[in-house]
Amino acid sequence: MSALERRGYSLVSFGEGADVMIINTCTVTHRADFQSRQMIRRAHRSNPQSLIIVTGCYSQVEPEEIERVEATAYLLGNKEKLRIPDLLPLMQKGETPKVQVSDIQEERLFEETALPSFYYHTRAFLKIQDGCDARCSYCIVPHARGRGRSLPPGRVIEHLRALKGRGFSEVVLTGIHIGSYGIDLNPASSLEELLKSLEHEETPCRIRLSSIEPLDFSRGLLSFLISSKKVCPHLHLPIQSGDDEILRKMNRPYGRSLISELIHELHENLPEASLGADVIVGFPGETEERFRRTYDLIESLPLSYLHIFPFSRRKGTPASQLPQQVSEGEIKKRAGLMRQLGKRKRQAFYRQSLNKELRVLVEDRRGRETDRWRGLSRNYIPVLLAGRGSERGADWVNREWTVRVTRLEENGVIGEVVER
Ligand code: SF4
């Protein structure tokens, strides 16, 4: 958005009659495709005069499907998305082709996006990696994003310095496969090397990592994470299944014993850390017994929360052709059971923080019902400030405070700021 703002465009709310609407689509599941088509129609209904530009992963993978949605004026692939500021004046004059989607598999360079221009926010997201060279049998992402490519370490440091300069206290390093960071660079680098260098650079005081594949936890990365003062004790692992046969069919290069050892090792060395996991339920061939095996493994592990993904049959992936597809009703039932388990794990994790102190970054927003200031602990617990904290004004915001947890809530905890 900041690149567009620099060219004189300004952001208005949905429904305020924008001249141009840019819809950035996702294609990770069938539902995401459906929601993207719905959003295009909704945008058109809200303002039929608006120029609708559709881009993102669904555009990249299934441009013909989007073309059939009449409201679409222009359709751009993931590479072309980054050229919107240049293309927009031409699109407004009708001087470019309606569909521009180039072959993302040919892309070798990491395309940087401009840093966000918004102020007063506490947390920024910095994409350090894009694409993926793995071929998990259910996943459409490599088709939509192309080969793995990384932002060079020097540029990561420059971006982080700039984010610190703009007042951000936390940055989340994101990517499609950040554990593979740096292997495409010349000279090659790694996530471990990058994080080690960031520890002594000028960056926002908290660095959070998006998900890391189980096999990407090298010995070196593990021992660095245990000692780091900057990287938050919050790790998210896409474990996907706890059954060896299903993992093999998913083309995931590890088994249940590796998952179990890794999660236990992380928990032993970082006992306060939030350990999250992605799990896919209803993968083809997942019998009741295999599902149970996954469920029992996850139940036994010291995980803090789960993200559950009902298997979605994506056209063009090997898993969509596998026999023994699980019925929708069964997938729904298993997803429900796993979500219940995830809820219990989350509650148990929050309970462990009761009467303890957390380092909480207070955000510039308040709880919807209580009007209390909200924050997030280093180990990913949402905290509402009670007592004197709630009476203080905006000077709480965007600073890290020590907070003693006094009460549990369904979706987080309540705590009091401990002033020292
Ligand atoms: S590692 Fe992740 S992004 Fe890459 S193919 Fe597997 S699931 Fe998809």
229 and 374 inside one domain: no
Which residues, judged by CB distance below 6 Å to any ligand atom, belong to the binding site of ligand 1?
Answer: 132, 134-136, 139, 141-142, 176-177, 213
Of the listed ranges 76-80, 267-271, 364-368, 401-405, the one predicted with least confidence: 364-368
CA of 134 to the centre of ligand 1 (A): 6
Question: Domains in the chain: how many in total?
Answer: 3
CA of 409 to the centre of ligand 1 (A): 34
Can you tell me the distance from the alpha carbon of 383 to that of 377, in angstroms, rounded to the nearest whole number?
7
CA of 136 to the centre of ligand 1 (A): 6
Can you tell me the distance from the alpha carbon of 359 to that of 206, in angstroms, rounded to the nearest whole number?
11
pLDDT above 70: residue 252? yes
**What pLDDT score does 119 carry?**
47
335 and 246 inside one domain: yes
pLDDT above 80: residue 116? no
Mutation test of ligand 1: which of 177, 237, 249 has the most ligand atoms closer than 8 Å to its C-beta?
177
83 and 139 inside one domain: no
CA of 6 to the centre of ligand 1 (A): 35
CA of 314 to the centre of ligand 1 (A): 13
Mean pLDDT over residues 62-71, rounded? 90
Mean pLDDT over residues 388-393, rounded? 55
The sheet that has 20-25: what strands, in order across it?
Answer: 20-25, 51-56, 74-76, 99-100
Mean pLDDT over residues 256-282, rounded? 98
* Ligand 1 nearest atom to the CA of residue 213, by list position: 1
**110 in a domain, yes or no?**
no
CA of 176 to the centre of ligand 1 (A): 7
**107 in a domain, yes or no?**
no
Mean pLDDT over residues 30-34, rounded? 92
Contacts of 45 (CB under 8 A, 6+ apart): none
Mean pLDDT over residues 330-343, rounded? 98
DSSP tag of 403: E
Beta carbons within 10 angstroms of residue 245's beta carbon: 14
pLDDT above 90: residue 300? yes
Q: Where a domain ends, among 54, 72, 102? A: 102
**225 in a domain, yes or no?**
yes
Q: Where a domain ends, among 49, 72, 102? A: 102
Mean pLDDT over residues 192-211, rounded? 97
CA of 135 to the centre of ligand 1 (A): 6
CA of 237 to the centre of ligand 1 (A): 12
**96 in a domain, yes or no?**
yes
More confident residue, 117 or 199: 199
Mean pLDDT over residues 399-410, rounded? 94
Q: How far is CA 2 from CA 11, 85, 119, in A?
A: 10, 10, 12
How sure is the predictor about 317, in pLDDT bands with cuts at 50, 70 and 90? very high
Q: Name the residue at shortest CA distance from atom 1 of ligand 1.
A: 134
347 and 363 inside one domain: no
Mutation test of ligand 1: which of 29, 137, 139 has the most ligand atoms closer than 8 Å to its C-beta?
139
Which 3 state secondary structure label does DSSP give 8?
Answer: coil
**116 in a domain, yes or no?**
no
* Ligand 1 nearest atom to the CA of residue 140, by list position: 8
Mutation test of ligand 1: which of 137, 141, 280 has the most ligand atoms closer than 8 Å to its C-beta?
141
Of the listed ranges 86-90, 107-111, 343-347, the one predicted with least confidence: 107-111
Mean pLDDT over residues 189-209, rounded? 97
Q: The domain containing residue 378 runs over which residues?
A: 357-417
Q: Where a domain ends, among 351, 374, 405? A: 351
Contact predicate 361/381, CB 8 Å: no
How sure is the predictor about 420, in pLDDT bands with cuts at 50, 70 and 90? low
97 and 127 inside one domain: no
**What pLDDT score does 72 carry?**
84
**112 in a domain, yes or no?**
no
**75 in a domain, yes or no?**
yes
* Ligand 1 nearest atom to the CA of residue 135, by list position: 5
The mean pLDDT value of the chain amounts to 93
Can you tell me the distance from the alpha carbon of 158 to that of 367, in angstroms, rounded to the nearest whole number?
34
CATH code (residue 60): 3.40.50.280
CA of 164 to the centre of ligand 1 (A): 31
251 and 375 inside one domain: no
Encode pLDDT of 277-295 as tens digits.
999 999 999 999 999 999 9
347 and 373 inside one domain: no
94 and 142 inside one domain: no
pLDDT above 80: residue 242? yes
**222 in a domain, yes or no?**
yes
* Ligand 1 nearest atom to the CA of residue 176, by list position: 3
CATH code (residue 201): 3.80.30.20
158 and 301 inside one domain: yes
Contact predicate 330/278, CB 8 Å: no
Of the listed ranges 68-77, 222-231, 272-281, the one predicted with least confidence: 68-77
How sure is the predictor about 369, in pLDDT bands with cuts at 50, 70 and 90? low
H/E element, 100? strand 99-100
CA dihedral (136, 140, 141, 145) positive or negative: positive
Length of the chain in terms of residues written: 420
Mean pLDDT over residues 117-125, rounded? 72
CATH code (residue 411): 2.40.50
